[in-house]
Structure 1
């Protein structure tokens, strides 16, 4: 059985293995790994601590060589944590002359490329004269890093304060197993970043938000502008306006994935229908006309605390995802207060991965969950049960790091200023 070496992009490293495993599941490939958006994938021909060890292994693969005998080819030498000058690169390439390939050497568009990868360790380590480990193999796949440039926010025609970075949007689409024919939904759609990236991979996408202003945009620009920019009209179905707590969907499994960035009150606060004074919504009239029928009517809303948002999001996912469907979302937290037990749980949902993007005092975690059990009405939560989950551990252990996250976030700057003054 062949062995493969995967070179990851050196950015957002913590997200790479979960993304790779998601893609492997999507393509029905069984992966066993020792180490964990890849950059390159190589089929290994040889590896070792010295070039002699590498050559010994490569010479044992002579049954593969005739396949490449007349192909155009190219050899590449790459170093990690150091540099290899041009003369040494040529010496390394020439040391593989025993392969005996008779095809032309083609530097621009060869039929096949071979790589020698020399690992010198981390750049901040003491510079080494010889590599710590060496790999030699055939390049068999290159990651779609060009998509990051294609969906770069700097090139997008319509943006908002909550528009998600293109690379992370693509990572989330991969972890959601976005693929042709799947139905993917974003209940906090904002400017529609996830609609675009999930649709790129062939999925049908749909979004909603309680605030239609970001969806509609201003003037001629709105979510529809980005859909047209990327020519995704046939896959992005629509973006609707309603409160997810009072959604119009039938309670049945119909979604293959839910991909979202719940509002945590930093750049945009979460809202739901209701009144600040706690009074129930009731029919109101003005000059005898029902208020909700007026064109200028805007329904009253109240703050939607982050802990409550997450409890409702998991419950919604358990009800509307198909078995095997995935929920992919961001969980904000205070670094010093976070514990793995903070990640909300549901009897129908299984945690697949939890990766951190650290910003210093706070971070956000990309959470991927999979539906593993059918939902039934016995799993519906009462208001008191929701409150208990939201405020779990009010004494010992403490509340989850994301509880009242907005207040904590805006206290960071205040406490820093106070420390500076003292």
Structure 2
């Protein structure tokens, strides 16, 4: 067995942090967050590629463990690729078995030693997923007894084939994961076929409904945001909050999250308005727009998670890249969190910007991905869709004069912050 217990470097000299990280949500049938697939990429001079080889994967896992897997996945599960070399290695001492699902493909070399090692790991409490399944071959049959999840790629499988395979694997009590679900029709088809989990960004795509109006609770938050960004005095803002009891209670709960970092508990609305200040109060109201619909169910949870992660990542990027620009971080946060409001409201972004007054830089970023803040938003979107857009990340980082090391550290911080916010917001 290959000993990687001291995995500071690898035979090729790959530094532990020469990678960047994508985190793609996996949702359950109610569209609540279940897990994340963690996608790692090398940061080479040439085209980016998946770090499936042993040394790179081990380096990444060692670093993720060092940072703390909870920072990456929060309360969810982390799905991590593992080839035959990884399975035969000693990297598993780095991994919290209750938080990790190891993904193998049906292309993994099935030697007796690999099967025995997988059996040992299952006995130790690790879970396996069989990834990119396209048929029911003998190879797949040999792996099925050892795996808990079967993943099928919606891009690679026609509906007719899915209709044959899904019932077959359900007979063996396997949990089915649909990958690359990009439309709500695909989501519905997979629901009907009995899939348990769904991976893809169908939930983040706007479904524009003509003539749609904001809900009363959303209107209340929007009106309050207008007061906060205007010259209204604190007493007027406090009175407006008090007119909506649920709004007041939700705001108090949100501003007492660890993510705010207040030194004392905030027990009153006047305290919230005074201690937080206008910019911080505006931030929590923006988050509440996403949190409010989730009171009616879990369907907005992933959108809330994605929006808060984007907002925080853009804020951290702007703080690092423009430290002397006083308001750059606040503008960046607003761009990140507003970038999904067309999906949230089912209204075109142009119409939203007529209702929410923003400056030209924010409008340019949201409408056209233009300017400095548009570049930051494009970077965040590329990271979210790392499989299709990873070749854009390195050039963008180069333009921003930022290293992959720095990007991963900021991503980890954004993941952790977002997880804290969502945990308290729902």
TM-score calculated relative to the size of structure 2: 0.27
Between Structure 1 and Structure 2, whose CA radius of gyration is higher?
1
Greater relative contact order, per chain length (Cα 8 Å cut-off, separation 6+):
2
TM-score normalised by structure 1 residue count: 0.27
Larger relative strand fraction: 1
